[in-house]
Chain A
């Protein structure tokens, strides 16, 4: 009886071991086949644009056999050539789980399926990113996925099922959009204030009212000698971030002699064209008084040889400083109450030090 039992156990083991090995192998094979199958790509994969153009790029997912519930997307690109303006979810992912963030050289968003019972399968749009072409490229640049991009799928635990990504190639030429004007890299807060007018067909292209660095930044395409003077433009007054009391402040600067300077004033839009004198000096005094508050000035110089350069400055028209102001005085920020309090404290201290001893005496 014992021998029979032993025989049964041995036979069971002989059957069970290969069966177990086979099933584990199958399981690994299934996982191996499923896990690596999801990929992300950018559509279109090859992009040709002109400086100033705004265009959309779609993040496309191919889930393969995976049941995707969420995708955390991180895109990186050259911030001197491209500016991401917005990023939002694509049609395949109805949920925005973490709102989109666009920054210098990066764009990110986390999107999700409708629910865990309705995971995403197939191919389609995960997100849509809107870019602006900032500067022409010497060679194609890429928009690519950062290494921390993550795609989660049901049944795959904490594995990142994303194994393949395809970047987009972008070529930017400097001959269109805004008339070929080279644009310096937008900086800090100014990038958030960029107005982007669309130029209707048939109209003369106007300078892009893009606030840029005050100091002209030479572009890579300009030769060293050309950068120096041919199309350089500077605004010398009002000084950057200064406060002026006149509502019609004179805007002046330097450019190449004979250059044409197109001046646009925001936030009370006025556009004029002036010509630099033989010494390169130019100036303009607004005819219409400017509203109290902050203003940006964009000046684009076109030299006699056709080269262009753009620069900007910003200043504040102090409220109530000049007759003709069209708006009542309103502080840009802050209040005067703390100042009054501090003054009161100072007066009280003065009284305590001088008057009180005299009174007591």
Chain B
């Protein structure tokens, strides 16, 4: 063959063809190598083999902590107004709002005095209240009326004016002569460590601790107010130096907050362990409420937010947080901004210009609520398939989720329930936005056990339910 080709083609043509072939197929070769690496790395994971011990009842499980949501400021208006009913159906406990002072025209100036007009912000807060939630107000950003050079991510010309802005805000919403709301969280700034929001540090001219101190001063001056909470630092991640700096600053501190955009759900659990370990030497702060005021699998826009990928990630994250959980974990965000027809917006609901459609992640919160109850011992979670089990009113439930950050792992999972009371059972297997089937099972006095094989497609969430017949 080689001789044939050499004889019938010119060396020049050979060179050209070879070069073209190389250039054409090099990307394919690289892709092939990448896929091989992916396959090999996937093979190192552990498949799940779930075993539930029905006789080992553990602590109560709460499901309200994840009914918290954050809304960003992709539009400088009340973005939730068009989706009140959809948001109300999520049973939100708290909804976080930021951009208070740059989107809602709250602060103005008249001579040397500041003027306050909360009407536009009131409309957004009223919308939140209409959904059944309470607002968490992120005190951001610097009102241009007081900011140095009018830049909303810079310090004010006069720190006392910043304190006054915070004081008036708290008095307006928590004041008994104002909106008269109780238990409102006020979070100082939003992602202060991010360039986009000022790149604040823990020292120097743009010191977050100074920003916080004057906010605490304003909070302290608020008169005739209901119970409220002041906290921070609302950083882009959980950072030990920020947390401890705030704890040791000596300012009023009612809660700690941070954001978490992590593709690996298990890191959420690591974060909880870390923050507790950092706070253990400071007993008066160990039990402070901890709020993840934004979370998702990536801080960037991604079409994954429009698919089951985001739903499975949320379920897997909730599984990691059911025990040793934060006070609240806020899903970011409720509704897309405009112009995101490609589906890469963070929203649970598409923008009204794009049909106000609920994405798969929207449905996961209420789907998981049925898991409320007492946790049962569950072992055998794998690399991709994780879950937890609860019992309530005699019904045993197992939540399973198959989340693969790589995107396409599937698994047939053996699931068994041990130490069941003998009798006839109804076994129901239902998937988020998927199949819902019911079988009959019998547990004998001999083995007191039920075993099933559950096929878990990639990025799926399932609840398995065992109910003993009377």
When A and B form their complex, what is the total count of cross-chain residue pairs whose Cβ atoms lie within 8 Å?
A: 193
Contact of B409 with A334 in the complex, beta carbons under 8 Å: yes
Q: Separation in Å of the B337 CB from the closest CB of chain A?
A: 33
Chain A residues whose CB sits within 8 angstroms of the CB of B416 once the complex forms: 195, 266-267
Looking at chain A's contact residues, the main secondary structure is: mixed
Is residue A18 contacting chain B, with contact meaning CB distance below 8 A? Answer: no
Give the complex CA separation of A116 and B287 in angstroms: 6
A residues 40-64 with Cβ under 8 Å of B? none
Specify the chain B residue showing the minimal Cβ separation from A349: B25
Q: B38-64 interface mask toward A, CB cutoff 8 Å, 1 = contact, 0 = none?
A: 110011011101010101101100000
Interface residues of A in 335-361 (CB under 8 A from B): 335, 337-338, 341-342, 345, 348-349, 352-354, 356-358, 360-361
Whether A95 sits at the interface, judged by CB under 8 Å, is yes
Q: Which of A100, A294, A361 contacts B49 (CB 8 A)?
A: A294
- Nearest-neighbor residue (CB-CB) of B455 within chain A: A330
- Cβ of A89: which chain B residues have Cβ within 8 Å of it? 59
A120 vs chain B, min Cβ distance (A): 11
Query: In chain A between 194 and 222, which residues have their CB closer than 8 angstroms to a CB of chain B?
Result: 194-198, 200, 203, 206
Chain A hits for B409, CB < 8 A: 333-335
- Bound complex: CA A85 to CA B58 (Å): 11
Q: How many angstroms between the C-alpha atoms of A203 and B447 in the bound complex? A: 11
Asked whether, in the complex, the Cβ of A97 is within 8 Å of the Cβ of B418, the reply is no
Interface residues on B, range: 35 or more
Majority-rule SS of B interface residues: mixed
Q: Is the CB–CB distance between A352 and B53 below 8 Å?
A: no
Q: Given A70-B280, A269-B451, A357-B17, does the pair A342, B414 have CB atoms closer than 8 Å?
A: no
**A198 to B35 Cα, complex, angstroms:** 47
A86 CB–B CB distance under 8 Å: yes
Residue from B17, B56, B412 within 8 A of A356 (CB atoms): B17
Whether A338 contacts B38 by the Cβ 8 Å rule is yes
Q: Chain A 260-300 against B: per-residue CB contact (8 Å), 1 yes, 0 no?
A: 00000011110000000000000000000001111000000
What chain A residues lie within 8 Å of B366 (beta carbons)? none
Tell which of B24, B35, B281, B324 touches A97, judged by Cβ atoms closer than 8 Å.
Answer: B324
Q: Which of A69, A97, A269 has the most CB of B within 10 A?
A: A97
A327 touches B453 (CB 8 A): yes
Whether a CB of chain B sits under 8 angstroms from the CB of A244 is no
> Mind listing 16 A-B residue pairs with CB under 8 Å?
A85-B379, A95-B287, A98-B276, A112-B286, A152-B281, A158-B281, A193-B379, A197-B447, A267-B453, A293-B412, A293-B414, A332-B411, A332-B412, A333-B47, A353-B21, A357-B13
B-side residues, CB < 8 A to A, are 1, 5, 8-9, 13-14, 17, 21, 24-25, 28-29, 31-32, 35-36, 38-39, 42-43, 45-47, 49, 51, 53, 55-56, 58-59, 269, 272-273, 276-277, 280-288, 322-325, 375, 377, 379-381, 384, 408-412, 414, 416, 418-419, 445-449, 451, 453, 455, 458
Known: A157-B283, A192-B51, A195-B416. 12 other contacts (CB 8 A): A86-B377, A99-B269, A99-B324, A195-B418, A196-B418, A200-B445, A203-B446, A333-B45, A338-B36, A352-B24, A353-B21, A361-B13
